[in-house]
Structure 1
Amino acid sequence: MLEWPRRNSYDGRFAEGTKQLQVVGLTGGIASGKSTAASLLGELGAHIIDADVLGHRAYDPARRRSKR
């Protein structure tokens, strides 16, 4: 039986208690759990930047009119 190689995602450089900034990007298809994962990370104290929200704000006609 063929199996994918197992990888350990733990990296000792980012051990608990360090002050190192970690950036995590969530990608995936529709209904793949990105929002759920972001919510869970937010509950753990992560700062969430939602690119969809930023994109919608950038193209919102009402916001564009008020900038002129």
Structure 2
Amino acid sequence: MSPEQQSRRVTAVKLANAVNKIEGATVTSQAKMLSAKWARGEISGAEMKAALVAEHAHSAVGKPHE
């Protein structure tokens, strides 16, 4: 991955976290760690999404829906 592409990814992560904060959504430490790995090119977007979905599905087990 080029330094320019990595820089764009870091900017995208910062923007996504800022939007979530503005909207009142919590960004978990797991999500931040996965986003950093994606920004560095260590995992793909699909791998990041799958890990986040799995984390949230696991944490939602046994909790009532709103």
TM-score, structure 2 normalization: 0.28
TM-score, structure 1 normalization: 0.28
Higher helix share: 2
* Higher radius of gyration, 1 or 2: 1
